[in-house]
A and B are shown apart, each in its own frame.
Chain A
Amino acid sequence: MRPPGRLSASVDDRPATPTGSLAIELRKVSKWYGDFQVLREVDLEVHRGERIVVCGPSGSGKSTLIRCINRLEEHRSGTIWVEGEELTSDLRRIEKIRSEVGMVFQSFNLFPHLTVLDNLCLAPQWVRRLPRAEAERNALALLARVKISEQAMKYPGQLSGGQQQRAAIARALCMNPRIMLFDEPTSALDPEMVKEVLEVMSELAEQGMTMMVVTHEMGFARAVADRVVFMDEGEIVEDAPPEEFFSNPRSERTRQFLSQILDH
């Protein structure tokens, strides 16, 4: 299923609020760290149910980009809409948006002082105010889905990297997010554990989750992505379906990057 194309021909005559089918929309988003511009007028649209893979050299702004979407980073100019809500500095709104956007980090970031089960129940109980029994039921179902049911009562320090990352995915899913963001979820893993995490992510994609994944796993991109976005120096250089992206990249920079990454 291909998402529909651009909603209107010209960027400037579009309505101020985006139309219904967009999960994420970025318009001319820029961000600086001091004098250094990390994001340069980034435009991006992600439709509901779409799977976007973001790649690009280290330091190109991939993490910054997806962290702006749940406002772990604040952009300075341009506009971001998430599920139709504009991201402003209104704290209430940010917390609401964050509770509907799940995020998975490279370093897992599980809470080491809580069991896996409590890691999963924490936000549903305190943010969604779910009864403990219901939160536990959901959590156990999700742990089964990521195939680590037997680890529920253990602490994160007792799990392997792959198990921790699957627990982290389950923790994000516990909030019933409409969008999942992944920032290099397999980069900190030993090679033999990469597969088990990618499998979980592929299953999630099959179930229709809107996903934005920063990764260099090109096999995953080929198999799962609807679009591959290539970033370099804070700009989106290429944005194309995987077949086109891998076989016929338009920009020289993309070609260079692909030859580097596919060589080894």
Chain B
Amino acid sequence: MARGESDAAREARPGAWRERLASLVFDPRVRGIALQAVLVVAIVAFAYEIVSNVTDNLARQQIASGFGFLERTAGFDISQRLIAYSNTMTYGRAFLVGLTNTLLVAGLGIVLATFIGFAVGIARLSSNAVISSLAAIYIEVLRNIPPLLMLFAIYFAVLKGLPDPRNSVVLPFSSYINVRGLTVPKPLMAPGFDAFAIAVLIGLGLVAALAIWSRRHRLATGRTAPVVPLAVAILLGAPAAAYAVAGMPFTFEAPTLGRFNVTGGLTLLPELVALTTGLTLYTAAFIAENVRSGIEGVPKGQTEAAAALGLSRAQAMRLVIVPQALRIIVPPLTNQYLNLTKNSSLAVAIGYPDLVSVFSGTILNQTNQAIEVILITMAVYLVLSIATSLLMNWFNARMALVER
């Protein structure tokens, strides 16, 4: 390297260095990273401060901490159990019972609210004035009632009006309906059950395959094959054949009407009915609004082009409008699903044993381990939310339009 050049470079350096620094400071990317780093440090410091404070407090009040309590015996009963549970099992088991109860209500609510929401949303756009105003009334009334009030209305005004157990309404097949719910005979597995279950699964698989084949066949040849009778035959025939070969798959435990209560059998709790109905009807009103605005968001020219090709209104809806409207409907639909799941914690108000009621209610009261219980509960809702969002994002990505 020539001497003159290195001198020139040395002279230029301070200025160049300052310039480079300036360009870094004003680089939006560098600024963004720096800002985030500062934020993370601040949050970590804040969290540390809180945690150390709380631990000190707990230690001073001599409250146990840690997750060991999950192994201890719960000692209380839960009115609805989807998994085996008795009061001699652990808090951890009780937690799972509450969690599955929450999942049951959320799952039922999401499926039902989606169906009702789509139906009402499409009805809202009907050219029949009576249908569209009924849908409008449904939407406006239900969206504007606090969901808790609606739960109370269904639970106390309707379901609590049922007769007490002594005056149970007796239904066929030794079923009873009273204020404690609908009790039906409980199926118990008998030796033939495995064969029966396999036969039902095979039947369902065959029918699904048949449905797919029939749609392909319809599109490939333009002709409709008579698949419905065949499907019915498979659905009825497969279990019947299994029954003939392996014998009765179930025995039934019939409920009995005692003096003060119905014992045995399988009971559908009025709390479950009230919670599911309330959450479904409430959320369906919002979904209906999303569906309406989604469909209205598809340009009118699309409906006209479909009509001009001779497609019927129903075909245009199904093949042209709804697939495009879904892009607009799905993101807010995710929010409604999350809202429904979170609103299911209103269960506590009518005594349905959901996660919050069992875990953040009874168990928190009994163990006093508020921090752990609340953290676990929050984590559960967070995981449910993230799972729902991921699923819906995946669905939405599939629906996205290919643009230039």
Residue pair B311, A127 in contact (C-beta under 8 Å): yes
Q: Name the residue of chain B whose CB is nearest to the CB of A112.
A: B401
Chain B residues, CB < 8 A from A77: none
**Chain B residue at smallest Cβ distance from A158:** B404
| Known interface pairs A109-B301, A111-B305; A127-B310 also in contact (CB < 8 Å) | yes
Among A91, A127, A158, A175, contact of B402 (Cβ-Cβ < 8 Å): A158
Interfacial chain A residues near B320, Cβ < 8 Å: 111, 122
| Residues of chain B lying within 8 A (CB to CB) of residue A171 | 309
Instruction: Give the contacts of A102-117 with B (CB-CB under 8 A).
Output: 102-103, 105, 107, 109-113
- Chain A residues with a Cβ closer than 8 Å to the other chain, count: 38
Within 8 Å by CB of A112, from B219, B222, B311, B324, lies: B324
Contact A175 B309, beta carbon cutoff 8 Å: yes
Q: How far is the CB of B74 from chain A (nearest CB, A)?
A: 52
Is B220's CB under 8 angstroms from A132's CB? yes
CB 8 Å contact bits of B191-235 with A (1 = contact, 0 = none)? 000000000000000000000000000011111000000000000
Q: Which residues of A are found within 8 Å of B19, using beta-carbon distances?
A: none
Interface string of A222-241 (1 = CB under 8 A from B): 00000000000000000000
Interchain CB contact under 8 A, A125 and B222: yes
Which residues in A have their C-beta under 8 angstroms from that of B305?
103, 105, 109-111, 168
Structural contact, B311 and A123, CB atoms closer than 8 A: yes
Residue from B299, B301, B324, B401 within 8 A of A157 (CB atoms): B401
- A141-168 vs B: 1/0 string, CB under 8 Å? 0000000000000110110000000001
Q: Using a CB-CB cutoff of 8 Å, which residues 87-130 of chain A contact chain B?
A: 91, 95-96, 98-103, 105, 107, 109-113, 122-123, 125-130
Whether the Cβ atoms of A111 and B302 lie closer than 8 Å is yes
Q: Do the beta carbons of A107 and B401 come within 8 Å of each other?
A: no
Query: Cα distance A134–B302 when bound, in Å?
Result: 25
Whether, in the assembled complex, A30 has its beta carbon less than 8 Å from a beta carbon of chain B, the answer is: no
Cross-chain contact of B310 among A95, A112, A130 (Cβ < 8 A): A95
Within 8 A of A (CB), among B299-331: 299, 301-302, 304-312, 315, 319-320, 323-324
Rounded to whole angstroms, the CA-CA distance of A111 and B223 in the bound complex is: 25
B401 to chain A, nearest CB (A): 5
What is the bound-complex CA distance between A212 and B397, given in angstroms? 41
Assembly CA distance A103 to B301 (angstroms): 12
Q: Contact partner of B315 among A126, A131, A168, CB < 8 A?
A: A126
Q: Which residue of B lies closest to A122 (CB)?
A: B319
Q: Chain B residue with minimal CB distance to A106?
A: B301
Query: Closest A-chain residue to B313, C-beta based?
Result: A91
Report how far A175 CA is from B310 CA in the complex, Å. 9
Q: How far is the CA of A126 from the CA of B323 in the complex (A)?
A: 16
**Nearest CB to that of A71 among chain B residues?**
B307
A64 within 8 A of B: no
Does B403 count as interface, using CB distance less than 8 angstroms? yes
> A131 contacts B309, CB within 8 Å?
no
Asked if A172 CB lies within 8 Å of chain B CBs, one says: yes
> Contact: A72 with B311, CB < 8 Å?
no
Chain B's nearest CB lies how many Å from the CB of A20? 23
Residues of B within 8 A of A125 (CB): 219, 222
Known A131-B221, A132-B220, A155-B401; judge A72-B307 contact (CB<8 A).
Answer: yes
When distances are taken between beta carbons in the complex, the residues of chain B under 8 Å from A112 are 324, 401
Chain A residues at the B interface, C-beta cutoff of 8 Å? 70, 72, 91, 95-96, 98-103, 105, 107, 109-113, 122-123, 125-134, 154-155, 157-158, 168, 171-172, 175
What are the nearest 7 A-B pairs in CB distance? A99-B310, A109-B305, A123-B309, A103-B308, A155-B402, A157-B403, A109-B301
Q: Add 15 more A-B contacts to A100-B310, A157-B402 (CB < 8 A).
A: A72-B308, A105-B301, A107-B301, A109-B299, A109-B305, A111-B302, A111-B306, A122-B309, A125-B219, A127-B311, A131-B219, A157-B404, A158-B404, A168-B305, A172-B308
